Amino acid sequence: MSSSSRTRTKAPRSTRIRRNYGISSSSSANIVADLDDVLLQILSFLPIKSLIKCKRVSKRWRCLITNPNFSNPIISSKHPLPISGLYLQGTRRDIEYRFVSLDDEVNEQLSLPSSPLRFVDHPTPIVIMQSTNGLLLCKCTCPPNHFNRNFYVYNPTTKQKTLLPQIIDHFAVSLAFDPSKSPHYKVFCLKRTSTSSVSSVLYHLEVYSSNEGPWRRLASLPSFALPHTVTGLSNLSNTVFWNGAVYWFWFGPHSRDCLSFDINTEEIKTLPLPFLDHEEYPPDVGTLRFVEESRGNLYFIEVNDLSSSDLPVYEMNRNGSSWFLKYHVDLETLAATFPEMIRTEYYTYRRIYSFSIIGFVKGETDVESYIVLHIPNKAVKYYFINKTFKKLCSFEPSQDDDDDDDDDGGDNFYGFRRSFQFIESLANV
């Protein structure tokens, strides 16, 4: 046989490889699919924070990670998700927020300057109303009529948002989202019943569901009256989703209660807040209150005596019927390290503590649980069990802040107006 014949009968190298491994060119699509399956299996073991970084590798990786068939089970399996940071709302008329990371790897960081939060396609800043398991409930004014509002559900991690259908004559709004039970969220709106009279005002609930669409009234829940102590919309601005129920808290000169709605049983009830030592005296306008959900637990803190070094923390029991004393914070130990906390009240000349509460983080164990306090010009973590603390970050005033009007503390007991959890999440909105 000639050399040319031997050359023609010798198969190309690529063909020999495919024959040796039993692979044909027609199965190349299956190879890619198998590789995706392997990649998804590997990615499923990564924490949410690492998955977010992996989205930047390529468009293909981003598509795989953001696919609901992957992201929903991952979010559910990793619930409850850890709190990564806090959005802090300033006290100025212009709505501005600072962001503070809770990452221990960032040592004595400097918080980001105050700035408005905006959507690129909306002309006015957004206002955060509630944070729930990685999603934010927000509202924006709608120029030229600033009495109109747009409401959004927003994932700050993925930058995705959904505009809710228009809400008319709402009294209070609350977001409910539990990724361990469902990838879908619900928004509840408390509204005045149109047939109610002036002498007997009744209310009802409407719900928007991310998988069912427009607002609908809950037919199973009859109209109901609110306690007479609820006198305005701002009284119900503090809302929390916990243990399958939404809670609206209101605080007045003679009331300390919350309204709860159980999503599963569709029952509504009024729950009193903890009775504190100073209950014989009505809380004054300087009372500091803080309500927060963390890792499946609900906490309440109230401070009416600024001269007391003891800061009690209450936790609600699992059936949602009562509160019990869970932790104590010793402010004196903090003041020994940060003497700028000590002030003299100008009209009584008594010694008081200058601070506000901006966060509560329930760890996997009690030893890892801590509270985040804002003291003049800085934020600190205080661990409940071992009574230790560490400086978390420093604050610098905004460029337009005056020396006598600093939204970061100074003589202002309240510090930041409100705080909202930032939780990294791949949840689709």
What's the sign of the alpha-carbon dihedral 393, 394, 398, 402? Answer: positive
Measure the CA–CA gap between 268 and 142, rounded to whole angstroms.
32
List the domain boundaries for the chain.
3-76, 79-422
Measure the CA–CA gap between 323 and 304, rounded to whole angstroms.
18
Decide: 368 and 385 in contact? Cβ < 8 Å.
no
Q: pLDDT-derived band of residue 415, with 50, 70 and 90 as boundaries?
A: low
Decide: 191 and 169 in contact? Cβ < 8 Å.
yes
pLDDT at 408: 41
Query: Per-residue DSSP letters for 281-332?
Result: S---TT-EEEEEEETTEEEEEEE--TT-SEEEEEEE-TTSS-EEEEEEEEHH
Q: pLDDT-derived band of residue 30, with 50, 70 and 90 as boundaries?
A: low
More confident residue, 324 or 94: 324
**Mean pLDDT in residue range 275-290:** 59
At 377-399, the pLDDT tens digits run 889 999 999 999 999 888 875 44
pLDDT at 203: 87
pTM of the prediction?
A: 0.82
**Three-state secondary structure call for residue 72:** helix
What's the sign of the alpha-carbon dihedral 73, 77, 79, 83? Answer: negative
Is the pLDDT at 258 greater than 80? The verdict is yes
DSSP strand pairing (160-163 vs 297-303): unpaired
Element (H, E) at 172: strand 170-176
Question: What count of other Cβ atoms lies within 10 Å of the Cβ of residue 189?
Answer: 21
Q: Return the amino acid letter for 267.
A: E
Q: Return the amino acid letter for 55.
A: K
Q: Do you know the residue count of the chain?
A: 429
Domain 79-422 in CATH 2.120.10? The answer is yes
Provide the strand spans (E) within 194-244.
Answer: 203-209, 213-217, 238-242
CB crowding 313-347: b at 16 or more within 10 Å, else e? bbbbeeebeebeebbebebeebbeebeebebeeee
Measure the CA–CA gap between 131 and 425, rounded to whole angstroms.
12
Question: Which residues have a Cβ under 8 Å from the Cβ of 259 and sit 6 or more positions away?
Answer: 226, 236, 247, 248, 250, 268, 269, 270, 271
Q: pLDDT-derived band of residue 128, with 50, 70 and 90 as boundaries?
A: very high
DSSP strand pairing (389-394 vs 109-110): parallel
